[in-house]
Amino acid sequence: QTRAYSVLTETPVAKLYNYKDVKEIASNPQSYPGSVLVDVREPVEFNDGHIPGALNIPFKSSPGALDLSAEEFRENFGFDKPSPEKELVFYCLGGVRSTAAEELANTFGYTKRGNYVGSWEDWVANENA
């Protein structure tokens, strides 16, 4: 009799963030030096409004951005590539691109990941409440 073994690789699960969590990071970045807010929308969307302190790393036009060398990243985006030691908290417009970006970031060695699933739509609704 043969036995079949299932080998599962453990993917660290992303922490899910809500408005209150993200507002705290955006309002007090010095209290959260290990967290980076990452807006994965396209630059035109980002320029129309974004969460204070967020970095714009567009997922659709630059899906492999976090796999670039530090030098290539800086040339492309004009700021330093976030360290894999940091927790990247992704958001987009409604949570679809941020989920994909968060999952892809894991394959590039970013094991500390968060996803603000409500994303920009939720932020705006709460800010205007």
- Domains of the chain plus CATH, in order, are 29-127 (3.40.250.10)
For 39, 41, 59, 82, 93, the CA distances from 97, given in Å and listed in that order, are 10, 8, 7, 19, 8
Phi, psi of 21 (to 5 degrees): -60, -50
In tens, the pLDDT along 58-71 reads 999 999 999 999 99
Residue 7 has pLDDT above 60, yes or no: no
- pTM exceeds cut of 0.85: yes
In tens, the pLDDT along 20-62 reads 999 999 999 999 999 999 999 999 999 999 999 999 999 999 9
Greater confidence (56 vs 14) lies with 56
Catalytic-residue membership of 92: yes
Q: Of the residues 92, 101, 104, 105, which is catalytic? A: 92
3-state secondary structure of 87: strand
